[in-house]
Amino acid sequence: MHCPNCGAKASARQKFCRACGLSLERFAQLLAEPSPDVEGKDEDVERARRRLRYLESGAKLSGCVVGLAVWLLMASVIAEQHRLPQAQETVKMLSELNVEMSASVTEQTTARLEEKIES
Ligand SMILES: [Zn+2]
């Protein structure tokens, strides 16, 4: 037999490849195992084909989903470009609101801490 890793010649009794050190025991066992009958192989091929068909349909479906997502993204980008000043205003308002909110949370936390310290 030959080493499945490096292709160097190796005897079936060798445990490791002399060239690359790959463990040959497992491969020797696999080679020694009786090959499955033709009927079983056909079943495997049929199963593999069915799986491939399933994967293909899945790929088509996900392609549609990706296409839809890209379309939606482009539509939203175009919409965003048309009302950019308004969007900027909204972002500004939101960030101001965030600052106010975090400030009030900090104030509350500080007040509570002070209460605890005092009591
Ligand atoms: Zn090897």
* Dihedral pair phi/psi, residue 9, rounded to 5°: -70, 135
33 alpha carbon to ligand 1 midpoint, in Å? 21
The rounded Å distance from CA 34 to ligand 1 centre is: 24
- Residue ranges with CB less than 5 Å from ion ligand 1: 3, 5-6, 8, 17, 19-20, 22
> From residue 17, how far is each of 9, 31, 32, 95, 111 by CA, in Å?
8, 16, 17, 65, 73
- Give 43-82 pLDDT, tens digit per residue: 788 888 888 888 877 777 777 777 778 888 887 777 776 7
pLDDT digits (tens, 9 = 90+) for 74-90: 877 777 767 667 777 77
**Ligand 1: centre distance to CA 2 (Å):** 8
Rounded to two decimals, the pTM is 0.27
